[in-house]
């Protein structure tokens, strides 16, 4: 665990001057992000809301003893990742967070894996504010969620505002954001932050935009570093989205930027002092929540377990049925599957291709969210790999159209980044020239591509409709969901071997 401590003076407040002159105020901000359905501990006894509750209670007691005022914030993406949560609309997660008394949460892009009506229901379960200052109803031009909330700590006025990546319609189910407009987050912040700054002693942004060092956001929308550079007066940015831990905060233009990795693996803790309009960073750290190598593990909070156990039992019902066996690990690790072809990508796309007797199976790597481990494969395993409940559709195109489409999606998405657009494909062999962004020597089903022949592609509706910045296609719906197609495919095979899928890799890079 790395720490940052000392007397980093961040500047003078131009706020409402409600504070008492000469008085020192201690503030402790606890933060999490990208929870993704991990309300229960994993198979290794790691993480989970019950252990998080024990840690947060401990930190609250320590803060109270030290005379510090506590804020608890989350930077979004509570939805999607674990079947027991997904099938219950993340009710256990939001009720658990409500029990922890979160002060506010930024809306993440994966909140929109659910319809807006469900998001409002989740807010009711949690009982704390959902914030976003850049999501609008197209018809009325009104904000869908409050942009900010004001919190009093002693006589100190702390304002927390929220922002959401404008890439959300591309990085969630597009149908759930129909009728909404995701305006450029940084530009919207420029409009309302000056007024908030004038009326606040401490100004905190809770954002789901991503931390990109030195503002190098590449194909993504701008993130927290750009926000800090272009919008003056922000004291602290509690971020999420990129799911990278900041063991040391990034201080940009006076703003402290923090992010606590993902899945509740850590609780972030930022200690601040405020005196006479001057804010000072004392310490920032990420505190692990029951990692495998933790010696003195946190006990699970009994009251939280009492709340969550019925949801766990309900979620387990029907999910732990075995559907097959796996020989070797089919890796779905984020940094691997989003940068190269994998056995898991080949397995998934083969399942799509065979289900519809298509020529080509295709998916975006961002739709694959976990590895498929060796050994017994359950329905739960499959739903963890493919948690988005995406319908798989078919599109037809002539050979020359297929070449153009494949060339676009293969050369468009760079490796080395976290963007989920990198394609996993089965049924084709292709030579790729990276520099010229051209493909050649295309074979479909072992035969040279015929420009005039009609080919069928099976792919998730999400990318057929333009998600992850894929070209939009005309497609036919058949009513079959991705995870069910993969489950049936594994049941039919009975045994899947990771090594067998190495030969399915489609690209020869030049």
Catalytic residue among 95, 338, 429, 489: 338
Catalytic residue among 241, 339, 364, 468: 241
Catalytic residue among 31, 35, 36, 489: 36
Count helices and strands (H / E) in the chain.
Answer: 13, 26
Sheet holding 447-448, edge to edge: 447-448, 438-444, 428-433, 507-509
Q: What is the pLDDT of residue 425?
A: 94
pLDDT digit string (tens) for 324-354? 999 999 999 998 999 889 999 999 999 999 9
Whether residue 197 lies in the annotated active site: no
Q: Using CA atoms, how far apart are residues 447 and 428, in angstroms rounded to an integer?
A: 9
- Sorted by where each begins, the domain ranges of the chain are 3-314, 318-509
Whether residue 208 lies in the annotated active site: yes
Q: Evaluate if residue 453 carries a pLDDT over 80.
A: yes
Catalytic residue among 41, 79, 84, 109: 109
Whether residue 243 lies in the annotated active site: yes
Catalytic residue among 33, 38, 77, 271: 77
- Other Cβ atoms less than 10 A from the Cβ of 441: the count is 11
* Mean pLDDT value of segment 33-52: 96
Q: May I ask the CATH class of domain 3-314? A: alpha beta
**Which residue is listed with tokens 């198979």?**
43
Residue bearing the bigger pLDDT, 375 or 508: 375
pLDDT digit string (tens) for 197-240? 999 999 999 999 999 999 999 888 999 999 999 999 999 999 99
Catalytic residue among 89, 113, 250, 301: 113
Tell me the CA distances in angstroms from 322 to 318, 343, 372, 375, 493, one per residue in order: 10, 21, 13, 10, 13
Domain 318-509 bears CATH identifier 3.40.30.10: no
Tell me the CA distances in angstroms from 152 to 10, 160, 503, one per residue in order: 21, 11, 61
CB-side exposure of 145: number of CA atoms within 13 Å? 28
Whether residue 34 lies in the annotated active site: yes
pLDDT grade for 435, boundaries at 50, 70 and 90: confident
Catalytic residue among 33, 34, 134, 364: 34
The rounded percent of the chain whose pLDDT value lies above 70 is: 95
Catalytic residue among 88, 154, 334, 500: 334
Environment class of 318 (CB within 10 Å of its CB; exposed 0-12, middle 13-18, buried 19+): exposed
pLDDT digit string (tens) for 271-301? 999 999 999 999 999 999 999 998 999 999 9
What's the pTM value of the predicted model, to 2 decimals?
0.83
CA-based angle 359:364:369, to the nearest 5?
125
Catalytic residue among 122, 134, 243, 364: 243
Q: What is the pLDDT of residue 509?
A: 66
Whether residue 109 lies in the annotated active site: yes
Whether residue 241 lies in the annotated active site: yes
Catalytic residue among 38, 148, 220, 369: 369
Whether residue 113 lies in the annotated active site: yes
């Amino acid at each position: 665990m790395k720490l940052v401590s000392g007397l980093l003076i961040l500047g003078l407040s131009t706020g409402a001057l409600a504070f008492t002159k000469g008085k020192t105020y201690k503030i402790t901000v606890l933060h999490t992000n990208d929870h993704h359905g991990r309300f229960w501990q994993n198979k290794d006894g790691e993480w989970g809301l019950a252990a998080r509750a024990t840690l947060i209670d401990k930190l609250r007691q320590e803060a109270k003893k030290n005379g510090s005022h506590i804020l608890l914030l989350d930077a979004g993406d509570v939805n999607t990742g674990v079947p027991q949560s997904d099938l219950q609309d993340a009710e256990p997660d939001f009720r658990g967070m409500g029990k922890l008394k979160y002060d506010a949460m930024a809306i993440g892009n994966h909140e929109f894996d659910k319809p807006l009506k469900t998001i409002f229901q989740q807010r009711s379960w949690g009982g704390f504010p959902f914030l976003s200052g850049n999501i609008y109803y197209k018809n009325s031009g009104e904000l869908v969620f409050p942009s900010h909330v004001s919190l009093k700590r002693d006589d100190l006025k702390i304002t927390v505002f929220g922002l959401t990546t404008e890439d959300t319609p591309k990085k969630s189910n597009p149908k759930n954001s129909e009728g909404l407009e995701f305006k450029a987050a940084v530009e919207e912040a420029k409009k309302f932050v000056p007024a908030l700054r004038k009326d606040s002693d401490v100004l905190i942004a809770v954002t789901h935009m991503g931390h990109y060092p030195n503002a190098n956001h590449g194909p993504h929308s701008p993130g927290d570093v750009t926000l800090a550079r272009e919008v003056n007066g922000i004291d602290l940015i509690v971020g999420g989205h990129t799911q990278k831990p900041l063991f040391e905060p990034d201080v940009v233009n006076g703003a402290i930027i923090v992010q606590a990795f993902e899945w509740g693996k850590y609780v972030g803790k930022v200690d601040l002092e405020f005196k006479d309009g001057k804010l000072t960073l004392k310490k920032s750290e990420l505190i692990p929540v029951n990692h495998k190598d933790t010696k003195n593990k946190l006990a699970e909070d009994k009251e939280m377990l009492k709340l969550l156990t019925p949801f766990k039992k309900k979620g387990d019902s029907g999910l732990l049925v075995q559907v097959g066996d796996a020989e070797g690990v089919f890796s779905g690790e984020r940094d691997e599957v989003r940068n190269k072809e994998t056995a898991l990508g080949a397995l998934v796309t083969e399942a799509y291709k065979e289900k519809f007797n298509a020529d080509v199976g295709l998916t975006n790597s961002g739709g694959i969210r976990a590895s498929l481990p060796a050994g017994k494969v359950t329905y739960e395993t499959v739903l963890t790999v493919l948690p988005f409940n995406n319908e798989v559709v078919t599109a037809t195109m002539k050979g020359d159209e297929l070449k153009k489409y494949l060339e676009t999606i293969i050369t468009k998405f760079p490796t080395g980044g976290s963007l989920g657009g990198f394609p996993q494909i089965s049924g084709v062999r292709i030579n790729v020239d990276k520099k010229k962004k051209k493909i050649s020597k295309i074979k479909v089903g072992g035969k040279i591509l015929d420009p005039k022949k009609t080919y069928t592609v099976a792919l998730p509706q999400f990318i057929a409709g333009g998600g992850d910045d894929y070209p939009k296609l005309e497609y036919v719906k058949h009513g079959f969901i991705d995870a069910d197609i993969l489950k049936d495919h594994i049941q039919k095979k009975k045994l899947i071997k990771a090594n067998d899928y190495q030969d399915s890799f489609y690209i020869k890079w030049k």
